Every structure is written in structure tokens, then in C-alpha cells.
């Protein structure tokens, strides 16, 4: 390549952050064959970011200390995509000790929890940043974690990164865009490709295959064919990765605005068979004499609809991981419970109970926390409870029990139940929707009248002991459960009536 071909091209995009009165210049490698209008706005955004108090203070401090500094990865990528970013990641030739020495005078706080990996965190001008020493990580092909090796070149550091669209950096304070692997072209083509051969990249860190699925959903990009083929070929290598790292990537995928493409990618490449096998198992074989809906496609549609309800209703912190896990996994009990009935019918009796057990087992294997496991399992157990309400309206007692059993998962259960209606029969869908509207209205009325969310017996344990003249023990618990059932069946009847009914029950129990 000629010298002129490698010479940087420049665009005037505003002011130099160090000298506000002068022109600011950002340089893009001349080999980047993209239309100038496609990058001008991105370069302007990067220039504005470089002029921000946080970035300009860091840039000036490292420059004064004689060290390189570059904004790297997500913030640079997102400037081209016109996406906001909350993370400011930097890379430098300075060692962790040198980083600490440089930032100490300008940081409100700093921490070195990632020091052995070369990463120092800090709060500068009110923003949190991470600064990492150039790295050239080495993998032995067996260990689940790389051996951290510090490097001395920005280009080498970028070459080790997962995808070309993330292997972009903005040198500071030069404001020079560094793109050694064609990341800008891939951004504009909405393509995910590895900087090195995909077999080498995924062999070095198999978790990158899960990241491809996450970025496919997060960015709406497609995976380049060679990279896609390598994901299928090396799917088994994901088993080298710790359950915690796999869990975190799956969670990030589910928390994107549209996780469906990423989930499809995991299933189609065989990665899901290794990390979440219950999902590809939903692709049940279709018998020519027995017909039922495609459970796999149904589950993806339920996930899509749950996300829509989650956002529209606004009663949950969105994105909500528990809600999305429950939606994706709500029918995983169907493969084990499918029965081909006479006449072409297909049944899945108790798939809610079996599915809850399978979900708990899988989430434990992925090292999810107990609260998440319990909540997802509970939602799957209850997701069929509503169906039938449309045929025969429940008693107040049944409504109270529905609320009691859902507990603090009631709003999520509302969403999951509504999202589970995927029928194309408009009349049936409307009937179920109207029925659930009615159920929610009845829950609201009862909640207002009876403090339904905190249903308890009208006598507490001490009052039960006093009424029956018994000490603490098993019998107090039995009496408490009797009063709770009475409260659920009949609603509030008052402490005096509750005491009278308790004495009647106790007398009958003693006589028996």
C-alpha cells in the first residue's frame, strides 16, 4: 500500500477542546471506504464527547504525564450509531500504578477492584470511568479465564477485542480515530465480524459467541457468514466458560429491547443446546395426525408480547429480567408432558408444574440468585391458573387465593398471562382479554375493600392462644391456617366473629 493510501484523512468538526478558539480536527484512516456524509455526524459527536469535562480532564492529565490515552469500544461505536452511552471506557499504555498516580489529583474517588486485570475505576467530573492498560491476553485453550498480559500498543489491544465494531478507539488528545480492522464499514453494513479469524477469536474466548447473539439483538446487526459458521462449529467450546459468565451474557441478551434475534441465533448455531437446552427442546416434532401450535415460536412470541406489556403498563422496572425469563421458559415443561390423544388432540397435562421444576434446575445451574429462581419458578407454576376464568367467573374466594398465591409476583403474573395469549383467532383473543380485564378490576375492588395484598387472619398468634387457652406449638399453626382459609373464603368478618368461628372449629376438632 502506498504512503498516500495510508495517510490519515481529516475532517474539520468544530473546536479543539484544549483551545476553544481553534478548529478541531478528527482523523479517520483513509482506507475506510465509506461516504463522508455517513461519518461526519459521528465524528462531530465524538468531538463533543472529547470536549466534555470528564474526557477532557483525563485527556489533559495523561498527556501531561507523557502517556497515551484512547476512548475505546462502546462509546466510539455508539457515536456512529447515534446511541447514547452510559459507559466511558479508556485504554492506555500506563500501568495500573501509573494510572492511579495520574488520576488521583483529578478524581473525586477511585478504586482498583480490577487492578490485577489492568483496570482502574474512577469518578471524574461526576462520571464513572474505567481505564485499562493495553492488553494482549493469552488463553491456553483449556482454562476458563485468560492469562492477563499487558501490552504496549493500541493497535494490538484492539486486535484482541471481540468484534470489529467494538475494536474502534479515539486517540486523545489527538482526536484520531483508530480502526485497524474495518469496524466503521461493518458498523455501516450492520455486520458482526471478528477482528481476527473467528476460529481463533472464539477459541481464545468462547464467550464471544454468546456476545454475538447479544449484539445481534442489541444492535440489530447480522453475523457475517464465516463468523456464523464458526459459532456452529465451535459451539461445544462454550462449556469451558464458567456458569457465572454464561449467566451474565444470557441476562444481557434478555435485557435488550428485542432479544428474539439473539435467542434464534443461539438455537440455530447449537449454542443453546449447551447453555439453555430447554429452549431448543421446544421445537417439537409435528405428527401428521396430531396438531398443536409451534411451542418454540409461541414462546418467542410470548416473550415479545411480555416486553410490550412490561413497557406499556409501566408497573415494573423495565427491562425486567425475571419477567423475561419466565416468558421465555413458561412452556419448557411441554416436551416432557406431551401426550398424543385419540382423535388428533394433544395434551400437556401438568406442564406448568414440570416446567417450574425444570426452570429452577436450569437457573440454579446457571448460578442465578435464589430470589430470581423462586420468582421465575412461581410464575411458571401459576401461568395457567387464569385460563378457565373466561368460561366461569371466579368467586371472591378464588380471586383472593389467586392474589395470595401470586404474592409479590402479581403484576408479573398479569403480564405473563396476557402475553400467553397468542391465538390468531381474534374472537378468542378478545374474549380472554376482556376476561382478564374483568379479573384485574375485581382484584382492584377487593384490594380496596379488604387490603387484599396483605390478607391475614383476623386474629394473630397471641390472640389464638388466648382464645383457645393453649401454649405456642403446632396447634396454633393449625388454628392460624383455619382462620386464613376463613378469611379467603368469606372476606373480613371482624375479630369477634372470627373468634366465635375459631371456638366452634376447636370444639369440633376436639370432639373428633
The average pLDDT across 298-323 equals: 94
What's the pLDDT tens digit per position in 166-186? 999 999 999 999 999 999 999
What span, in angstroms and rounded, lies between the C-alpha atoms of 85 and 351? 42
Domain 190-276 sits in CATH at: 1.10.110.30
The average pLDDT across 201-215 equals: 95
Q: What residues are paired with 138 via a beta bridge?
A: 147
State if pTM tops 0.85: no
CB 184 within 8 A of CB 215: no
Helices (H), 51-110: 53-64, 74-81, 96-103
Q: How far apart are the first and last CA of the chain?
A: 99
Which class is domain 1-189? alpha beta
* Location of each CATH 1.10.3210 domain in the chain: 288-454
* Location of each CATH 1.10.110.30 domain in the chain: 190-276
What's the pLDDT tens digit per position in 351-369? 999 999 999 999 999 999 9
What's the pLDDT tens digit per position in 450-459? 665 556 788 8
What span, in angstroms and rounded, lies between the C-alpha atoms of 278 and 280? 6
* Location of each CATH 3.30.460.10 domain in the chain: 1-189
By residue count, the chain amounts to 512
Specify the CATH architecture of the domain 288-454.
Answer: Orthogonal Bundle (1.10)
What's the pLDDT tens digit per position in 259-298? 999 999 999 999 999 999 999 999 975 544 345 568 999 9
In sequence order, the 6+-apart residues with CB closer than 8 A to the CB of 398 are: none
Q: What residues are paired with 191 via a beta bridge?
A: 222
Residue 74: pLDDT over 70: yes
Amino acid at each position: 500500500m502506498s504512503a498516500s493510501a495510508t495517510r490519515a484523512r481529516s475532517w474539520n468538526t468544530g473546536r479543539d477542546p484544549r483551545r476553544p478558539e481553534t478548529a478541531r480536527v478528527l482523523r479517520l484512516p483513509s482506507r475506510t471506504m465509506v461516504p463522508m456524509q455517513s461519518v461526519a455526524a459521528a465524528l462531530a459527536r465524538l468531538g463533543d464527547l472529547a470536549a466534555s469535562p470528564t474526557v477532557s480532564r483525563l485527556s489533559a492529565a495523561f498527556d501531561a504525564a507523557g502517556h497515551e490515552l484512547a476512548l475505546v469500544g462502546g462509546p466510539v461505536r455508539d457515536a456512529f450509531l447515534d446511541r447514547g452511552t452510559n459507559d466511558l471506557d479508556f485504554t492506555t499504555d500506563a500501568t495500573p500504578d501509573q494510572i492511579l498516580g495520574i488520576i488521583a489529583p483529578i478524581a473525586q474517588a477511585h478504586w482498583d477492584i480490577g487492578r490485577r486485570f489492568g483496570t482502574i475505576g474512577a469518578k471524574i467530573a461526576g462520571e464513572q470511568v474505567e481505564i485499562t492498560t493495553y492488553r494482549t491476553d493469552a488463553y491456553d485453550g483449556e482454562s476458563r479465564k485468560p492469562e492477563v498480559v499487558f501490552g504496549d500498543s493500541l493497535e494490538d489491544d484492539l486486535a484482541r477485542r471481540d468484534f470489529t465494531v467494538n475494536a474502534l478507539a479515539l486517540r486523545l488528545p489527538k482526536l484520531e480515530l483508530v480502526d485497524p480492522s474495518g469496524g466503521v464499514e461493518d458498523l455501516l453494513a450492520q455486520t458482526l465480524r471478528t477482528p481476527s479469524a473467528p476460529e481463533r477469536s472464539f477459541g481464545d474466548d468462547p464467550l464471544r459467541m454468546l456476545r454475538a447473539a447479544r449484539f445481534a439483538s442489541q444492535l440489530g446487526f447480522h453475523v457475517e457468514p464465516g463468523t456464523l459458521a464458526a459459532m456452529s462449529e465451535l459451539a461445544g467450546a462454550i462449556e469451558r466458560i464458567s456458569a457465572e459468565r454464561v449467566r451474565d451474557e444470557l441476562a444481557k441478551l434478555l435485557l435488550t429491547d428485542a432479544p428474539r434475534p439473539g435467542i434464534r441465533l443461539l438455537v440455530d448455531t447449537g449454542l443453546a443446546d449447551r447453555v439453555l437446552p430447554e429452549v431448543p427442546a421446544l421445537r417439537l416434532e409435528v405428527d401428521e395426525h396430531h396438531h398443536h401450535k409451534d411451542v418454540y415460536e409461541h414462546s418467542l412470541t410470548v416473550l415479545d408480547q411480555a416486553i410490550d406489556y412490561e413497557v406499556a403498563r409501566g408497573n415494573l422496572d423495565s427491562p425486567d429480567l425475571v419477567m423475561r425469563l419466565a416468558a421465555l421458559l413458561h412452556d419448557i415443561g411441554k416436551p416432557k408432558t406431551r401426550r398424543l390423544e385419540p382423535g388428533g388432540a394433544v395434551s400437556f397435562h401438568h406442564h406448568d408444574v414440570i416446567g417450574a421444576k425444570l426452570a429452577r434446575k436450569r437457573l440454579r445451574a446457571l448460578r442465578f440468585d435464589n430470589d430470581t429462581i423462586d420468582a421465575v419458578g412461581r410464575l411458571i407454576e401459576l401461568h395457567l391458573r387464569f385460563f378457565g376464568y373466561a368460561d366461569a367467573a371466579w368467586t371472591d374466594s378464588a380471586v383472593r387465593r389467586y392474589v395470595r398465591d401470586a404474592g409479590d409476583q402479581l403484576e408479573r403474573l398479569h403480564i405473563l398471562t396476557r402475553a400467553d395469549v397468542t391465538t390468531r383467532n381474534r374472537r378468542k383473543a378478545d374474549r380472554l382479554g376482556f376476561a382478564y380485564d374483568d379479573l384485574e378490576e375485581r382484584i382492584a375492588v377487593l384490594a380496596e375493600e379488604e387490603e387484599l395484598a396483605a390478607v391475614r387472619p383476623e386474629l394473630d398468634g397471641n390472640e389464638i392462644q388466648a382464645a383457645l387457652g393453649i401454649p405456642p406449638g403446632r396447634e396454633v399453626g393449625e388454628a392460624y391456617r383455619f382462620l386464613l382459609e376463613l378469611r379467603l373464603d368469606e372476606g373480613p368478618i371482624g375479630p369477634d366473629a372470627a373468634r366465635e368461628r375459631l371456638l366452634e372449629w376447636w370444639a369440633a376438632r376436639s370432639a373428633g
